[in-house]
Structure 1
């Protein structure tokens, strides 16, 4: 279940939340360094990660699930946020180039339905980037951050979810190797933890950052020869009169 939007906002205003914003934001920007001319949909609580794209993307729709609540963003300029049903987005088919999901699949009551809906609004060749808590990490075990609530994923589980909803995973990285505690010493050394963690224990990242693509394949009929044979099955018609009528005639008096 989604956390309240005010709780999310408070977390990202704290020291640990600022560390999360920086380290996860670096992984997002590494995957998507340039969104010039792209239409970007974000779903969940994503505003801490959107500012680099404000001047790049052709359009940004920051959709916030109704169970979470909504707040205006950015504080300057036109509002980019909107309240939505995460399983029934108010968008036409194939209208989005990129979709960013943070605090979404792990907190949604029906993550498969969310992915199917995101697939619907993405254009062919469009890309999804999702951030979820890693099942192996301390971040999924402690409720000191939003990543400690909801459903954690292993890399294999997330890949299976994506494939079942017709996405093709294309890239995966980890972030947040610093322990999820509010210690000033830990937060100050978070960048060092990140460098060492990437090299020494990549499987224990706090979150998984996974990209997937919407690919459209032409359907191939199964066993077309057999299907044709059934359609063209011969029907034999006798040359003689119908059975039971030969040699008989009826006359009305």
Structure 2
């Protein structure tokens, strides 16, 4: 079995995002990811998968790109501005990307850990990856595991990656999670009407059961062992010059005393 992205699942997810419940999730994730990437700087940013959904719009990095996981994953007008790529084998140079966004990519892959290894490879030291996914420990996750109920999300429960599991993978690589959010606390509902009625659950969920949101967004930085930032050298040189001047002045005073005694 190939380790490449399950193409029908990627297409199904793109179609699901156009439904009322998909728009509910997309709106929440867009807001949170906008906040996470707004102040990330560098030269190159890349979004892997779901190219019809611009998650780099709030970022100011000059060179941006989006990839298709399969040709049918995109609208015709987007094909010219996106790169075809498998998330497990990105056609990008090592240490060439400053910001990488993976919207529901891990849970659509047969080899999510390999996707993370590729993310680690292409990111520069101190580069950032932003990942979104469905939370299997939420009400929606429980709903997906009850036999006989119609699924709410297109990703099967056994493929969903919990945040705890994701953090364990981070530890095996060189990633350090620094920020994250849970959201979409409304019970499983497929209509705009019912989603609106449960809108009050957003604030209640953030306060009372924050880890039970239907989706999560997490940001992590690629750390390099032994690396430290070097400040401007001129500051250190200036301090040394001042110190040398003070020492020289003291020595001059000490030399004059014997001369006065000789006179």
Fold shared, TM-score > 0.5 on shorter chain: yes
Instruction: Tell me, yes or no, if the aligned pair for 2:130 and 2:220 is still in contact at 8 Å.
Output: yes
Q: How many residues align?
A: 215
Match of 2:187 in 1: 179
Instruction: Tell me, yes or no, if the aligned pair for 1:69 and 1:83 is still in contact at 8 Å.
Output: no
Task: Choose from 205, 216, 226 the match for 1:197.
Answer: 205
- Cα distance 1:122–1:195, how it changes in 2: closer, same or farther (>3 A)? same
TM-score under structure 1 length normalisation: 0.74
**What is the distance in 1 between the residues matched to 2:99 and 2:7?**
24
Q: Which moved more, 1:187-196 or 1:153-162?
A: 187-196
**What is the distance in 1 between the residues matched to 2:54 and 2:208?**
27
**What is the distance in 2 between the residues matched to 1:38 and 1:191?**
39
Instruction: Tell me, yes or no, if the aligned pair for 2:185 and 2:202 is still in contact at 8 Å.
Output: yes
Task: Choose from 171, 176, 183 the match for 1:168.
Answer: 176
1:59 aligns with 2:63: yes
Q: How does 1:1-253 map to 2 (within 5 A)?
A: 2=6, 4=8, 5-35=10-40, 38-45=43-50, 47-50=52-55, 52-53=57-58, 56-66=60-70, 69-72=72-75, 75=77, 79-140=80-141, 141-142=143-144, 143-148=151-156, 151-189=159-197, 191-218=199-226
Q: Report the 3-state secondary structure (helix = DSSP H, G, I; strand = E; otherwise coil) of the residue aligned with 2:219.
A: strand
Q: Report the 3-state secondary structure (helix = DSSP H, G, I; strand = E; otherwise coil) of the residue aligned with 1:146.
A: coil
Q: Report the 3-state secondary structure (helix = DSSP H, G, I; strand = E; otherwise coil) of the residue aligned with 2:159.
A: coil
1:210 CA drift (Å): 1.1
Point out the structure with the larger helix share. 2
- Cα distance 1:58–1:108, how it changes in 2: closer, same or farther (>3 A)? same
Instruction: Tell me, yes or no, if the aligned pair for 2:133 and 2:160 is still in contact at 8 Å.
Output: yes
**What is the distance in 1 between the residues matched to 2:140 and 2:103?**
15
Instruction: Tell me, yes or no, if the aligned pair for 1:119 and 1:214 is still in contact at 8 Å.
Output: yes
Instruction: Tell me, yes or no, if the aligned pair for 1:103 and 1:147 is still in contact at 8 Å.
Output: no
**What is the distance in 1 between the residues matched to 2:89 and 2:136?**
28
- Cα distance 1:35–1:171, how it changes in 2: closer, same or farther (>3 A)? closer
Instruction: Tell me, yes or no, if the aligned pair for 1:97 and 1:123 is still in contact at 8 Å.
Output: yes
Q: Report the 3-state secondary structure (helix = DSSP H, G, I; strand = E; otherwise coil) of the residue aligned with 1:195.
A: helix
**What is the distance in 2 between the residues matched to 1:88 and 1:135?**
27
**What is the distance in 1 between the residues matched to 2:159 and 2:187?**
19
1:59 CA drift (Å): 2.1
